[in-house]
Amino acid sequence: MKNFLSVKDAGNVEELAQKAIAIKKDRFANNNLGAQKTMVLIFLNSSLRTRLSTQKAALNLGMNTIILNLGQDSWNMEYENGAIMNGDKAEHIKEGAAVIGEYADIIGIRCFPSLVDREKDYSEYILSKFLENVKVPVVNMESATVHPLQSLTDLMTIREYSKKEKPKVVLSWAPHIKPLPQCVANSFAEWMNKADVEFVITHPEGYELNEKFSGDATIIYDQDEAFSHADFIYAKNWSSYNDYGNITGEHADWMITNRKMQLTNDARFMHCLPTRRNIEVADEVLDSAASIVIQQAANREFAAQAVLKEILDFL
Ligand code: CP
């Protein structure tokens, strides 16, 4: 694997999820593979799970890691070609990314969307600027449109907890207090569309995802109907794609509750975290035996390790 930017780099998604499950059984089996190699993890946005799990995965493989909070620990970066740099941005991406690449064998990048300029966000403007200016492999740690390390984790977790070969997996929009990116939902949708599952998306009207990501998924606007016979409920908020970056209407009644979980086939509850308790999902669900959000977060380490191993094998 050269880069890990989206599902397109994953090959067979089910096989990669199985590799992550195998790594979980012996995480130190390849603890020399990354010896004398360095991963630089660049964060333009906050993170708990991605930061810790990706660093842990690299350490399990014997790599060194450096974390850079871009713009906080370093200079503010200018991305525009031809910019006259007379503002607060002291370093251009052309030098900045190229220099980081000199110290790194693998680079990880987190760069959220603006939620203002849809065309720019969906062109993966920031991620592509890094790709243009580094020669080493790049791992997407959540970009403007996708979060593939999360999606690989999600598939791995579904395989671990599924009681059947082809479970019914429901991605449910859930309320939030502010507009969030579509990345996790986009990414989950494109991975589920490649996995051997029955995939349903449910959301209020106005929250349709870009069809490039929702693909052939069944879309049901009635949340109760969508939950019927579900084996997994995956809750996530996202802002509107069509009315880009905005929240449309009041939908507090879309919060995941025990009443809704009881409509399912004894489904497991999943969420990428962080989640707003009693806004997106009720305490009674998060604190129930149905919830596997902590196990899911723990699996981030093994999913990241499966990806880093594939890249190290390529180097
Ligand atoms: N799920 C996830 O990516 O969590 P963080 O934002 O904390 O990394």
Q: What is the pLDDT of residue 242?
A: 97
Q: What is the pLDDT of residue 247?
A: 92
- Which of the listed residues 41, 48, 154 should we mutate to test ligand 1's pocket, taking the one with most ligand atoms within 8 A of CB? 48
Pairwise CA distance, residues 243 & 92, whole Å: 32
170 falls in which pLDDT band (50, 70, 90)? very high
**Cross-strand pairs, 198:** 168
Quote the ligand 1 centre to 272 CA distance (angstroms).
7
Once rounded to an integer, what is the mean pLDDT over residues 37-58?
98
User: Is the four-CA dihedral 268, 272, 273, 276 of positive or negative sign?
Assistant: negative
How far CA 174 is from CA of 6, 16, 84, 236, in Å, comes to 24, 29, 43, 5
- Of 52, 273, 301, the residue with max ligand 1 atoms within 8 A of its CB, to mutate for a pocket test, comes to 273
62 Cα to the center of ligand 1, angstroms: 23
Helices 93-103, 125-133: axis angle to 10 degrees equals 60
Ligand 1 atom nearest to 272, measured from its CA: 1
- The mean pLDDT value for 292-315 works out to 98
Which contiguous run of DSSP H or E holds residue 110? strand 106-110
Query: Does residue 71 carry a pLDDT above 90?
Result: no
DSSP code of 277?
B
For ligand 1, atom 4, the nearest C-alpha belongs to 49
Q: Cα of 119 to ligand 1 centre, how many Å? A: 24
Q: Taking a C-beta distance cutoff of 8 angstroms, is the pair 133, 102 a contact?
A: no
The total number of residues written for the chain in this structure: 315
263 CA distance to ligand 1 centroid (A)?
A: 29
Phi-psi region of 190 (alpha: psi -120 to 50; beta: other; left: phi over 0): alpha
> Whose CA is closest to 69, among 93, 44, 90?
44
Annotated domain spans of the chain: 7-146+300-314, 150-297
| CATH superfamily of domain region 7-146+300-314 | Aspartate/ornithine carbamoyltransferase (3.40.50.1370)
Q: What is the pLDDT of residues 193-251, one digit of tens each?
A: 999 999 999 999 999 999 999 999 999 999 999 999 999 999 999 999 999 999 988 89
Identify whether the C-beta of residue 244 lies closer than 8 Å to the C-beta of residue 115.
Answer: yes
CA distances from 25 to 18, 21, 79, 310 (A): 11, 7, 42, 17
Read off the DSSP letter of residue 281.
B
Q: Which atom of ligand 1 is nearest to the CA of 51?
A: 8
**Ligand 1 neighbours by CB, cut-off 6 Å:** 47-50, 142, 150, 272-273
- Across residues 245-258, what is the average pLDDT? 94
Query: Can you give the pLDDT at residue 73?
Result: 87
CA distance 171 to 176: 15
Tens of pLDDT, residues 260-287: 999 999 999 999 999 999 999 999 999 9
Report the percentage of the chain scoring pLDDT > 90: 98
- Answer yes or no: are the C-beta atoms of 106 and 308 closer than 8 Å: yes
Distance between Cα 188 and ligand 1 center (Å): 14
Query: Residue ranges of the alpha helices (H) in the chain?
Result: 13-25, 49-60, 93-103, 118-122, 125-133, 148-161, 183-192, 211-214, 223-227, 258-261, 283-286, 293-298, 300-314
To the nearest whole number, what is the mean pLDDT of the chain? Answer: 97
pLDDT at position 86, please?
97
142 CA: nearest ligand 1 atom? 3
Question: Is 90 exceeded by the pLDDT of residue 39?
Answer: yes
Q: Closest Cα to atom 6, ligand 1: which residue?
A: 47
**Strands 91-92 vs 64-69: parallel, antiparallel or unpaired:** unpaired
Q: From ligand 1's centre to the CA of 37, what distance in Å?
A: 25
Superfamily classification of domain 150-297 = Aspartate/ornithine carbamoyltransferase (3.40.50.1370)
- How many C-alpha atoms does 259 have within 13 Å on its Cβ side? 5
pLDDT of 23 > 90? The answer is yes
Would the pLDDT of 113 be above 90?
A: yes
Q: How large a percentage of the chain has pLDDT more than 70? A: 100
What span, in angstroms and rounded, lies between the C-alpha atoms of 171 and 297? 17
